[in-house]
Amino acid sequence: MAEFTIAQERKVITAIPGPKSQEMQARRLKAVSHGVGAALPVYIEKANGAILVDIDGNHFIDLGCGIGVTTIGHTNPGVIDAVSHQVNQVTHTLFTVTPYEGYVEVAELLNKHTPGNFEKRSALFNSGAEAVENAIKLARKFTGRGEIAVFDHAYHGRTNLTMAMNFKAHPYASGFGPFAPGVNHLPMSYPFRDPAGLTGEQAAQRAILYAEKRVGAENLAAIVIEPVQGEGGFIVPAPGFLTTLTSWARKNGIVVIADEVQSGIARTGQWFASEYEAGFEPDLITIAKGIAGGMPISAVTGRAEIMDSSHPGGIGGTFGGNPVAAAAAVSVLKQIETGQPFEDAKRIENILVSRLNEMKNKYSVIGDIRGRGAMIAVEFVEPGTLNPNSAVVDAAIKFCNQNGVVVLNAGTYNNVIRFLPPLVITDELLNDALNVLDSALASQQ
Ligand code: PLZ
C-alpha cells in the first residue's frame, strides 16, 4: 500500500464552501470568465492519495480525480520525482525544433501497451480534444475521405470539431456555432435503454444502416467511439457491438478510432477499455487524462501506416509532449507496468459494485449500475420507470459535498453519478465515502 503524506480521512470543519472559499469565490467572479463552470467551489490547497484539502482545512474524499486524471493518486511520489528532476534539466525546446528523449519514451511505452499486434507510432499533444482532432486529421489524410461518424451520448471535447461531435448541445455547444461539417451521429448501444434483448450485433447493424444510408460507407474516413462512454454516463455497449462495427469498418476501408481519453490508462483494470471486447482492435486510440498524474499531455497512438500518412510538419503544436509532462507520463506508465494499478481497479470495482447493489435493493430510484474497473456509474430513474431522475442526483451530490465527498454527475439526462476514484484509495476510505452516499439516498426516501 502506498505511503501517504496527508491522513486518508474525511474531515469537515466548516460549512461547505467554508468562509475562505467563499471569499475566493467572490474574487473569482470578478476575475474569471463566468463561462467557466465550478461544480463545487471549495478552493483546494493541497492533495495526496485520495484526499483533497481546501483552504478552510476541510478534507474531502476525492471520487472524481478531476474527471479521471489523477488515477494513480494525488501527488504521487514517482510523478513528483520525475517532474522535479525534469524541471531542473529543461522545460521546453519544442519537439519539432530540437527534440528530447522523454517524448520518444512516452511514444515507445504507448506503442507497447495499446491493444493491437501491429507496428505503431504515437504523436503527443496537450488535451483530449486536441488528440481527437489529430486522430481525425490523420484518418482523413490516410483515407482521402471527409466524413466521420460518432455516436449518440458521446463526448469528445470543446474545440470546434469536437463540439460538433458531442451528443449534447447544452452546455457544450449552445450558441457557439457554426460547427465543423462532416460529422454524422449514429445510434449507440445503450443496454439499459435499448429494447430488451437487443444484442450488440443488432445494435451495431442499426448504426451501420444509418452510416450506409445517410452517409455512404465509401465517404467515411473514420468512426470514433468511446469503448465506455465517459460524460455519457459510463455506457458500456452490449457485447459484440464494437467488433461488429469494426469488421464492417475494415471491409469498407474506414479507420476505427477509440476515444479512450476517459477510459484508458489502467482506469478500467486493463491498460485500455478496448481490451475488454476480445477481437476489438482500434486502428487509432486517443489518450489523455490519466496518463501523467495531472500534467497536461495527450496522445494519438495507432497503426504506423495511418500515423505516418501525414507529410512531415503536418502534425505538431508548441507545447505537445512538453518535457516536464512527458517525464510525468513516463513515471505513470512505468508504475502501471508493475501491474498494481490493475489489481487496485479490480479491488475498487468489487467494493463499488457490491455496495451499490446493496443500495439498489434499498432505493428504488437506482435503475442501473454499470462500468468497468474503477469506472463505475449509477443511473437514477423515477421508481419503476426508465424516466430519468436528475433531482435525486443533484440532491445526493450536494449531500456528499456537504459531508466531505467529491463525486461527479454524468449522463445525457444528468441522472448518473459516476465514480472515478484514485486507484490508491483505501478500502476504508472508499467505504466511508459510500456510507455518505447511502445516507444521502436514505435522506431522500
Ligand atoms: N474525449 C472521452 O472524456 C474530456 C470534460 C470536462 P479534454 N472529458 C471531461 C469538461 O467539462 O470540459 C474528454 C473525454 C473524452 C475527449 C475529452 C476531451 O478532453 O482534455 O478536456 O480536451
CA of 164 to the centre of ligand 1 (A): 14
Mean pLDDT of the chain: 98
Q: Which residues line ligand 1 (CB under 6 A)?
A: 67, 127-129, 132, 155-158, 226, 230-231, 259, 261-262, 288
Q: Can you give the pLDDT at residue 156?
A: 98
Question: Is residue 79 within 8 Å of 292, Cβ to Cβ?
Answer: yes
Q: Can you give the pLDDT at residue 431?
A: 98
Averaged pLDDT, 176-191: 98
Residue 3 CB contacts under 8 Å (≥ 6 apart), including other chains: 77
- All three cell numbers of 393, joined, read 442526483
Instruction: Give the chain's radius of gyration (CA, Å).
Output: 21
> Which H or E run includes 125?
strand 120-125
Q: Name the percent of the chain lying above pLDDT 70.
A: 100
301 has pLDDT over 80: yes
2 pLDDT tier (thresholds 50, 70, 90):
low
Q: Name the percent of the chain lying above pLDDT 90.
A: 99
CA of 229 to the centre of ligand 1 (A): 11
Q: Can you give the pLDDT at residue 46?
A: 98
Mutate to test the pocket of ligand 1, among 36, 40, 67 (most ligand atoms within 8 A of CB): 67
Mutate to test the pocket of ligand 1, among 261, 263, 274 (most ligand atoms within 8 A of CB): 261
22 has pLDDT over 60: yes
Question: Is residue 260 within 8 Å of 274, Cβ to Cβ?
Answer: yes
260 pLDDT tier (thresholds 50, 70, 90):
very high
Averaged pLDDT, 58-68: 98
Distance of alpha carbon 312 from its chain centroid, rounded? 30
CA of 445 to the centre of ligand 1 (A): 34
Question: Is residue 238 within 8 Å of 198, Cβ to Cβ?
Answer: yes
Q: Can you give the pLDDT at residue 363?
A: 98
Mutate to test the pocket of ligand 1, among 263, 289, 298, 409 (most ligand atoms within 8 A of CB): 289
411-421 pLDDT, tens digit each: 999 999 999 99
Domains annotated for the chain, with CATH where assigned, are 19-62+340-442 (3.90.1150.10), 80-337 (3.40.640.10)
373-411 pLDDT, tens digit each: 999 999 999 999 999 999 999 999 999 999 999 999 999
153 pLDDT tier (thresholds 50, 70, 90):
very high
**Which of 143, 167, 153, 135 lies closest to 257, judged by CA?**
135
186 pLDDT tier (thresholds 50, 70, 90):
very high
Q: Can you give the pLDDT at residue 445?
A: 82
87 has pLDDT over 80: yes
Whether pTM > 0.85 for this model: the answer is yes
CA of 14 to the centre of ligand 1 (A): 32
Size of the chain in residues = 445
Determine how β-strand 375-380 pairs with β-strand 51-54.
unpaired
What is each CA distance from 19 to 14, 23, 51, 115, 239, in whole angstroms? 8, 6, 20, 49, 50
Q: Can you give the pLDDT at residue 3?
A: 86
CA of 280 to the centre of ligand 1 (A): 23
State the amino acid at position 317 in one-letter form: G
CA of 362 to the centre of ligand 1 (A): 33
| Ligand 1 atom showing the smallest separation from residue 37 Cα | 11
CA of 163 to the centre of ligand 1 (A): 11
Adjacent-strand bridge partners of 53:
46, 59
95 pLDDT tier (thresholds 50, 70, 90):
very high
| Ligand 1 atom showing the smallest separation from residue 262 Cα | 3
